[in-house]
Amino acid sequence: MNVHTYEKIWLVASLFLIVGFIATVVYGAAGAGIAMVDASGGTVDSTSLSENERFGEPGVERVGDGEYEVTVVARQFMYQPDPIRVPADSRVTFYVTSADVIHGFQVVGTNVNTMVIPGQVAKITVDFDEPAEYGIICNEYCGQGHHDMEGKLVVVPEDEYGGDDA
């Protein structure tokens, strides 16, 4: 069979394209160390959060100079605590888990955005330099009240921060 030179070129080029597409998808799915949920936060028994050392009392804790840990429980259809108050010029690590179904935890306007899965702890660290107010929204459909599930994060000026009532 005589295959025209141009046709050979197109055949080879389209083969490269197909292999290229597959390689791109595989790399995107597994190659770059991408994880849907950061597993570094560990796991937790979602049926007994109230007895858990960390999640029994959701809230803000100062753990060092300008460093805070915020423990958040997501549940239908709210976040605890709400609002979350942290001081400006701080480094904040969020530990978020769910008491019931899969929720989302996005602090709008920051790069904090994670899925919240019962039994798993999502851990995210972010710096807040300036006083500001952020909305927190749920990006996973979690039931009838999903569209009303929201919270607030308030970054208050350092000298106004009490801390303990956060």
Residues that bind ligand CUA (CB under 6 A): 77, 103, 138, 140-142, 146, 149
- Is residue 134 within 8 A of residue 155, CB to CB? The reply is yes
Residue with Cβ nearer ligand CUA (87 or 118): 118
Cα 143–Cα 35–Cα 51 angle in degrees, nearest 5: 55
| Nearest distance, CB of residue 153 and ligand CUA, angstroms | 16
Shortest separation between residue 106's beta carbon and ligand CUA, angstroms: 10
Pair of tokens at residue 100: 């019931």
CB atoms within 10 A of CB 145: 11
Residue among 91 and 146 whose Cβ is closer to ligand CUA: 146
Three-state SS annotation for 93-150: EEEEEECCCCEEEEECCCCCEEEECCCECEEEEEEECCCEEEEEECCCCCCCCHHHCE
Kindly state the smallest distance separating residue 124's Cβ from ligand CUA, in Å: 17
Nearest to ligand CUA of 55, 128 (CB atom) = 55
Instruction: Give min distance, CB of 87 to ligand CUA, in A.
Output: 27
Q: Kindly tell me which of 62 and 146 has the beta carbon lying closer to ligand CUA.
A: 146
